[in-house]
Each structure stands twice: as structure tokens, then as C-alpha cells.
Amino acid sequence: MTYPKRLKAGDVIGLVATSSPVEEERAKQSKAVLEQLGFKVKAADNLFASKGGYMAGEEELRGRWLNDMFADDEVDAIFCLRGGDGANRILDYLDLDVIRKNPKIFVGYSDVTSLHLLFNQECGLVTYHGPMVSSNMVDDFDQESKTAFFEALTAEDAYTYKAPEGFPIGVAREGKASGILVGGNLTVMCASVGTPCEIDTKGKILFIEEIGEHIGNLDRHIYQLRNAGLLKDAAGILLGQFTRCNVDVEGYDIVQVMLEATKGLDIPIMYNIQSGHGAPMITIPMGGTCVMDTEKGEITFPVEMV
């Protein structure tokens, strides 16, 4: 796996809308907040475009902008404007050779999960499950999220997940595990099953987060992964934020669902990892080696620069 070069002050950020758009004024605010953080910005021209009311223009356009940002020698890193819907539509329009030859920081989450899977599995590129510009930086880029964001994107030797105040790491099943971190949004990764971009969990640490789902739907998705053989292959599991999800019904919660779905498997499980649709939103490297140790309560990511 290839770690992209570290982020530094004054870098040029390629701002892209791979899924849904924002209003024109919001796009201006997003560009401005990056400039206030000390970056230069090259913005795609589809940030406030619309197709069907929920996608930032035609898939060919969204794919072309992502290709162009990777190919552009002036662009140092690529930040997603927001998630939403439709990123899986652009997969056929991405030039994987261009992306492989031009490894760059790529940050996003939610619907962007389909792009993390593609870039990690097909391009060997470490990407970042972290804050998006409109979604997390414009209104309230809280200090813990901001600190973790810059620590992850500038780490030289190792990056350690630091539990935010009031959000201790939970242990559902004890153990130690090491492997490449894969996953992201539960709904999106389940949509990859049966496709050429199906999530590969063999020997890997599986990270899961979600938003706005009832525990019954979460249960259905988790058992889809189980029935597809994707849980038994994992080396370990990290449960992230389940924002605005009804995850505790009469004392039966998401942790219990996961324990039952992995019954009989020697897979350590840690939960309450603050990465996903909530705040603070802690950045974690997808495709990077992850070491989880329930006894020490630690999650670390050795950084191997290429």
C-alpha cells in the first residue's frame, strides 16, 4: 500500500463533489474555509451542479473531475465537498492508471466509501476516512476533529487514534489483531457485495459506521456481510459512529448484533470509535496497516512512506 506525501501548509487542495452537490453560496464558503486554513484551492465546476436533485452532475463529469485532480501536478491533495448519493455511478469513469501513477491524499466518508474501496483495493492507495469540507469544516470544525485531521495527514512514523474526551474505546471481544483497515459506511459497503469492487476483508481490520438507520436494518446489513463470508475472513472489527441510528432497542444494541454475527470466531471487536457522521469526527487511514490491542485499549497505524 502507498501512503501519499504528507500535507503541508500552502498546499493546493482539489475540491471535488463526487456524490451530491451544495448550494452555490455553500460552495463559496467551502472554498473560503480551506483558504482560511492556509491552503490554495482548485475547485471543480460541478460543486453546485445538479442531476436528479441529488447528484452533482452527470457521472461522467464527476469522474472526469476526479481524474483531472489526480493528474494535475499542481494539486497536492483532494478533499471531498460532501457525501450524499451517486459515487458508485462514477466508478466506470475513473482512470485507475492515472490514480496509481499520481498517489495523493484523498479525504471523505459516507457515500465516498465506494471510492475508498476502489482506491485501496485496485490502486493500492492509502486514503483517509475523515472530515469533508462542507459537512464538517464550514460550520463547526471542532478542535478534536481538526487536531486528528492534521495529525493523520502529516504523520511521519505512526498515527494513533486518540479517543475524544467523553468517548472511551469500548471492548466487545478481547484480543489483538493487525491488518489493513477497510470499510466505511455499512450501507455502501453492502452495496459493493457481488460487484467487481466487493469489499475484501480477508486478514483485514473491518471498520463500520452508519447514519439514520433502525437496528433492524443494521442487523440485516451485518448479516448480509456474515452470509457473504466477509465477517469470518476479517482479522478484527472496529465499530464507529452510528449517528441518529436507533441502535438500542429494549437493551439489544449494535454491539450485541455484531457479537452474535461473529459468534464462534476469534475476532477482537472494539467499539465507540468516533469516526463517521458525528462530532468529533476523527480521521483514520483506510488501506493503512491497523494494529488493535484491546488489553491496552490502543488503535495505531504504522506509517510506511513510499
* Residue 133 and residue 211 share a domain: no
Same domain, 169 and 278: yes
What order of strands is seen across the sheet that includes strand 105-108? Answer: 40-43, 12-16, 77-80, 105-108, 127-129, 284-286
Specify the pLDDT at position 272: 98
Residue 251 has pLDDT above 80, yes or no: no
Q: What are phi and psi of 160, to 5 degrees?
A: -115, 130
Kindly report, residue by residue over 135-164, the tens digit of the pLDDT: 999 999 999 999 999 999 999 999 999 999
Mean of pLDDT values over 234-262 = 91
Give domain status of residue 228, yes or no.
yes
End-to-end alpha carbon distance in the chain:
9
CB 133 within 8 A of CB 105: no
- For 81, what's the count of Cα atoms within 13 Å in the CB-facing half-sphere? 34
Which tens digits make up the pLDDT trace of 76-110?
999 999 999 999 999 999 999 999 999 999 999 99
Does residue 209 have an active-site annotation?
yes
Q: Is residue 71 part of a domain?
A: yes
Cell of residue 83, nine digits: 457525501
Of the candidates 56, 59, 189, the residue with the CA atom closest to the CA atom of residue 113: 189
Q: What CATH number is associated with residue 80?
A: 3.40.50.10740
Q: Which of 116, 129, 221, 277 is catalytic?
A: 277
> What are 30-61's pLDDT values in tens digits?
999 999 999 999 999 999 999 999 999 999 99
Q: Is residue 166 located within the same domain as residue 296?
A: yes
pLDDT for the residue 250:
76
Does the residue 23 lie in any domain? yes
Residue 305 banded pLDDT, cuts 50, 70, 90 = low
Strands 40-43, 12-16: parallel, antiparallel or unpaired by DSSP? Answer: parallel
> What is the rounded average pLDDT for all residues in the chain?
96
- Range(s) of the domain holding residue 240: 159-302
52 belongs to a structural domain: yes
Active site residue 277: yes
User: Residue for cell digits 470466531?
Assistant: 265
Catalytic residue among 59, 209, 210, 213: 209
Q: How far from 238 is each of 96, 171, 235, CA to CA, in Å? A: 28, 10, 10
Percentage with pLDDT > 90 across the chain: 96
Alpha helices, H only, the chain = 24-36, 59-71, 96-101, 113-123, 143-154, 186-191, 215-227, 254-261
Q: Is the pLDDT of residue 191 over 80?
A: yes
Residue at 2 is within a domain: no
Last residue of a domain, one of 115, 141, 167: 141
Residue 248 in this model has a pLDDT that exceeds 80: no
pLDDT recorded at residue 252: 82
What single-letter amino acid sits at 71? Answer: A
What's the structural domain count of the chain? 2
User: In terms of domains, do 112 and 182 share one?
Assistant: no
Q: Which is catalytic among the residues 20, 30, 110, 114?
A: 110
pLDDT at residue 306 above 60? Answer: no
pLDDT at 266 over 80: yes
Q: Tell me what pLDDT residue 130 has.
A: 98
Tell me what pLDDT residue 45 has.
96
Residue 17 has pLDDT above 80, yes or no: yes
Question: Is residue 5 in some structural domain?
Answer: no
Say which DSSP state 22 is in: -
CA distances from 43 to 59, 70, 113, 184 (A): 17, 13, 21, 25
